[in-house]
Amino acid sequence: MERRVVITGIGVLAPGGVGTKNFWSLLSEGRTATRGITFFDPSSFRSQVAAEADFDPELHGLGPQEIRRMDRAAQFGVVTAREALADSGLDLAGFDPHRTGVTIGSAVGATMGLDDEYRVVSDGGRLDLVDYAYAPRHLYNHFVPSSFSAEVAWAVGAEGPNTVVSTGCTSGLDSVGHAVELIREGSTDVMIAGATDTPISPITMACFDAIKATTPRNDDPEHASRPFDGTRNGFVLGEGSAVFVLEELSAARRRGAHIYAEIAGYASRCNAFHMTGLRPDGREMAEAIRVALDEARMNPEDIDYINAHGSGTKQNDRHETAAFKLSLGEHAYRTPVSSIKSMVGHSLGAIGSIEIAASVLAMENNVVPPTANLHTPDPECDLDYVPLTAREHTTEAVLTVGSGFGGFQSAMVLARPERSAA
């Protein structure tokens, strides 16, 4: 008997508001959460815009010691894991810790903490032999981002398989995909799975400046993230986290859980081409989509909505438009496609999970979130990108994709459990 995996709890922390409710309000109203950087003085940078989250860890139940030892990304992960668990209604006493695992995606780990601490131990970059006396005890937690999934496990009491998945900007999809495999194969019954990244720090902004990947639209930060728009010129860095409770379908039904969606198919491929470049034909992403659909036993026509990677670089937007056409054929032209990065920015390894949340909420509400700031069509991007305003749309199955540095291309199919193969 094949084990099917469903989402029964959601926790989201995204720019524009902590919590799933705030997140969906932002998306469904088409508001943007991008702004001029406030975390540090950005004046020497080419790109000075980011999607920052306003987050007070104490307000969200973290104690002083937790706050001290955890990087911001770990804090986000713990807060969203707790929200997801509460949302699932799964009682801590009601699951077997040995059969409960954790996977957390993150592309750049504790970048923020590492940047801060390096500045201190090197005394502003002066010391080659950095000063041990100024290193905090929790620095090892920043050195190894598996501290994130350890913190989540402690927060929820999980003692099954545990890992961080770090495949760059597809980490948020691959982490959940990995968790699904663990439940399907029988290694676990419950997974706390998702992703977190908080990359808005000087070192990250500097390296994206160097390759001109981020937008220099500094005079108009609220409208700076413009996926699929003809005037786009780079992505807007963001931060955030989304974590889910995943369960085996029959167990979830037995306990009467609210089932948001089934993770019906997932696949990942590599472009074996370039660490930051994409082949224009989109073939690897198309292959991932094809295999994910196959696993879900669905045809292209079954997909009601595509949650795009839509980072807002010309290269990406054309690459994935090609991939959708290659994998879905004519149906690509009939399917709404949108990028929530237009509103919440690109939070690297976290965004894949945040986009899973958006996809699930689109099904839950039968509303497709828009691509904000899309005013000027790009003739090479000729699909229906749902410009500016959300759209009521019966949504029973969603395709969500990710694409990232290192060449990773991932695709996931989410569906109402009664809709996907019985």
Least Å from the CB of residue 147 to other proteins: 6
Comparison of 97 and 216: residue with beta carbon closer to other proteins: 97
Asked if residues 206 and 166 have their Cβ atoms less than 8 Å apart, the reply is: no
> Residue 293: which residues within 8 A CB-CB, separation 6 or more?
265, 299, 300, 302, 303, 327, 399, 413
Comparison of 32 and 103: residue with beta carbon closer to other proteins: 103
Residue 30 lies near other proteins (rule: CB under 8 A): no
Burial bucket for residue 129 (CB in 10 Å: 0-12, 13-18, 19+): exposed
Task: Identify the residue among 89, 216, 230, 406 touching other proteins (CB under 8 A).
Answer: 406
Candidates 24-32, 142-150, 217-225, 248-256: pick the segment binding other proteins (CB under 8 A).
142-150
Is 309 tagged catalytic?
A: yes
The DSSP code sequence of 153-182 is: HHHHT--S-EEEE--GGGHHHHHHHHHHHH
Task: Identify the residue among 92, 144, 220, 281 touching other proteins (CB under 8 A).
Answer: 144
Both tokens of residue 246?
Answer: 């995943």
In 222-348, which ranges are E strands?
Answer: 237-238, 240-248, 261-270, 305-307, 337-338
Is 207 tagged catalytic?
A: no
3-state secondary structure at position 114: helix
Comparison of 102 and 263: residue with beta carbon closer to other proteins: 102
Binding mask 362-391 for other proteins (x = CB under 8 A): ------------------------------
Task: Identify the residue among 22, 39, 60, 146 touching other proteins (CB under 8 A).
Answer: 146
Task: Identify the residue among 17, 77, 145, 352 touching other proteins (CB under 8 A).
Answer: 145
- What is the C-alpha separation between 358 and 341, in angstroms, rounded? 11
Task: Identify the residue among 24, 45, 55, 235 touching other proteins (CB under 8 A).
Answer: 45
Binding mask 81-100 for other proteins (x = CB under 8 A): ----------------xx--
**Rounded to a whole number, what is the largest CA-CA distance in the chain?**
63
- What is the C-alpha separation between 238 and 232, in angstroms, rounded? 17
Task: Identify the residue among 71, 287, 317, 320 touching other proteins (CB under 8 A).
Answer: 287
CA neighbours closer than 13 Å in the CB half-sphere of residue 49: 27
* Pairing assessment for the beta strands 337-338 and 305-307 based on DSSP bridges: parallel
CA distances from 182 to 3, 165, 191, 246 (A): 10, 13, 8, 10
Both tokens of residue 248?
Answer: 């085996």
103-132 residues in contact with other proteins (CB under 8 A) are 106-109, 114-115, 118-119, 121-122, 124-126, 128-132
Of 169, 178, 319, 381, which residue is the catalytic one?
A: 169
- What is the C-alpha separation between 199 and 181, in angstroms, rounded? 28
154-213 residues in contact with other proteins (CB under 8 A) are 154, 157-168, 171, 174, 178, 181, 185, 187, 202-203, 205-211, 213
Least Å from the CB of residue 327 to other proteins: 14
* Pairing assessment for the beta strands 237-238 and 261-270 based on DSSP bridges: unpaired
Comparison of 37 and 367: residue with beta carbon closer to other proteins: 37
Is 169 tagged catalytic?
A: yes
Comparison of 192 and 372: residue with beta carbon closer to other proteins: 192
Residues with catalytic annotation?
Answer: 169, 309, 346
